[in-house]
C-alpha cells in the first residue's frame, strides 16, 4: 500500500474523507488546516510529502503560499483543487478541477513525473558520505562485489528509499525509474542488475551475514531475498540509524 503524508488546506471535510478511503492508496493526512495562515503554523513543525490546497478563485495569498512551499527544504508536491483549475495551472505542480474524483486525485499526484516529485529532504555531504560507507560495509559483507552494476544500482536504490520512504511501496513505478534516471539506463535493466547482485551474494553463501547487522536471524543459507525485501530491510535499518 502506498502511503503519502499530506497537509490539507481548506479542503471540504467530505473530500478529505474520500481521499483517506481510496485504495490501494492511503493518503495519510498528517494535518488538516482551514486556511493558509493555519497551514503555515503547522508547517513550522511538520514535514509532509504533499500539500493539497482548495481554492475556487485566484488569490495572491495562495500564489505566495505555493512559492513558499516550493522553497521548503522538504519540497512537497503542491496540488490545487478548485472549480477553475486553470488559475494555478502554471504555479502549482498539479492543478485539478473540483469535479475530479478522489481516486483520480490520488493517481494524479502519485503518477507525477519524477522531476516534480521533489519531496525528499536534502542531506548534507557528510551524511551522504557516511551513508555510502555504511552501505558499502553492508553489501560487501553480504557478498555483493562492488564492481558489478547491480551493486551501484542497489546502493542508489537504498539511498533513494532512505530519502523518500514512500518509494519502497512502489518499487516498479517509482524506485526503479528513479535509479534508472540517475544512471541513464532503463528500469528493467536496473531490476535485472539488482536481482543478479543478490543471486551472486546468495551463490557465495554470504547473504546471511546481514544477520550480524541486525543481531537476529533474518536469512539462512538457503534464503534468497527478493529485490524489494533486501532494499526494504536495509533502508529501514538505515532510517532508524539516521533518525
Specify the CATH number for the domain of residue 92: 3.40.50.2300
Number of domains in the chain: 2
**CATH number, residue 148:** 1.10.10.10
| pLDDT score of 243 more than 60 | no
H runs (alpha helix) in the chain: 13-21, 36-43, 60-70, 102-110, 125-141, 149-163, 176-183, 187-203, 210-214, 227-242
DSSP state of 184: T
Q: What percent of the chain has pLDDT over 90?
A: 31
Per-residue pLDDT tens digits for 181-197: 888 899 999 999 999 99
Cell of 91: 504555479
Scan for cell 475556487, then name that residue.
56
Task: Please provide the average confidence, as pLDDT, over all residues in the chain.
Answer: 81
| pLDDT score of 123 more than 50 | no
| pLDDT score of 122 more than 70 | no
Same domain, 103 and 189: no
User: Which of 56-60, 124-128, 174-178 is predicted with the least confidence, judged by mean pLDDT?
Assistant: 124-128
Residue-level pLDDT at 35: 94
∠67-36-22 over CA atoms, to 5°?
90
Which residue range forms the structural domain that includes residue 177? 125-242
Stretch 139-164: mean pLDDT, rounded? 87
Residue with the bigger pLDDT between 118 and 48: it is: 48
Scan for cell 505542480, then name that residue.
93
Residue-level pLDDT at 127: 54
Distance CA 194, CA 152 (A): 9
Cell of 45: 513543525
> What pTM did the predictor assign?
0.48
- Measured over the CA atoms of residue 159, residue 163, residue 168 and residue 173, the dihedral's sign is negative
Same domain, 129 and 238: yes
Per-residue pLDDT tens digits for 10-31: 999 998 888 888 765 556 778 8
| pLDDT score of 213 more than 70 | no
SS3 sequence, 54-116? ECCCCCHHHHHHHHHHHCCCCCCEEEEEECCHHHHCCCCCEEEECCCCHHHHHHHHHCCCHHH
**Which of 22-31, 67-76, 87-96, 135-144: highest mean pLDDT?**
87-96
Same domain, 92 and 150: no
| pLDDT score of 241 more than 70 | no
Determine the 3-state secondary structure of 131 from DSSP. helix
Q: In what order do the strands lie in the sheet with 77-82?
A: 25-33, 2-9, 50-54, 77-82, 94-97
Residue-level pLDDT at 24: 56
Among 77, 93, 116, residue at a domain's last position: 116
Residue-level pLDDT at 195: 94
Same domain, 9 and 69: yes
Same domain, 160 and 60: no
Alpha-carbon torsion, ordered 143, 231, 127, 123, to 10 deg: 150
Same domain, 56 and 158: no
Amino acid at each position: 500500500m502506498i502511503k503519502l503524508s499530506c497537509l490539507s488546506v481548506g479542503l471540504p471535510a467530505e473530500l478529505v474523507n474520500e481521499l483517506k478511503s481510496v485504495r490501494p492508496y492511503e493518503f495519510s493526512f498528517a494535518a488538516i488546516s482551514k486556511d493558509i495562515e493555519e497551514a503555515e503554523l503547522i508547517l513550522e513543525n511538520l514535514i509532509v510529502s504533499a500539500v493539497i490546497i482548495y481554492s475556487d478563485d485566484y488569490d495572491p495569498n495562495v500564489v505566495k503560499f505555493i512559492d513558499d512551499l516550493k522553497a521548503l527544504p522538504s519540497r512537497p508536491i503542491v496540488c490545487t483543487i478548485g472549480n477553475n483549475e486553470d488559475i494555478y495551472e502554471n504555479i502549482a505542480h498539479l492543478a485539478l478541477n473540483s469535479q475530479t474524483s478522489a481516486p483520480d486525485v490520488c493517481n494524479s499526484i502519485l503518477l507525477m513525473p519524477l522531476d516534480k516529485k521533489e519531496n525528499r529532504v536534502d542531506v548534507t555531504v557528510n551524511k551522504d558520505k557516511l551513508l555510502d560507507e555504511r552501505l558499502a560495509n553492508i553489501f560487501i559483507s553480504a557478498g555483493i562485489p562492488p564492481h558489478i552494476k547491480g551493486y551501484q544500482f542497489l546502493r542508489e536504490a537504498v539511498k533513494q528509499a532512505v530519502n523518500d520512504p514512500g518509494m519502497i511501496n512502489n518499487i516498479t513505478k517509482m524506485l526503479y525509474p528513479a535509479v534508472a534516471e540517475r544512471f541513464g539506463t532503463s528500469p528493467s535493466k536496473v531490476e535485472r542488475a539488482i536481482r543478479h547482485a543478490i543471486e551472486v551474494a546468495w551463490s557465495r553463501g554470504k547473504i546471511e551475514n546481514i544477520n550480524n547487522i541486525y543481531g537476529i536471524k533474518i536469512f539462512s543459507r538457503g534464503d534468497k531475498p527478493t529485490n524489494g525485501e533486501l532494499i526494504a530491510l536495509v533502508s529501514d535499518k538505515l532510517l532508524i540509524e539516521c533518525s
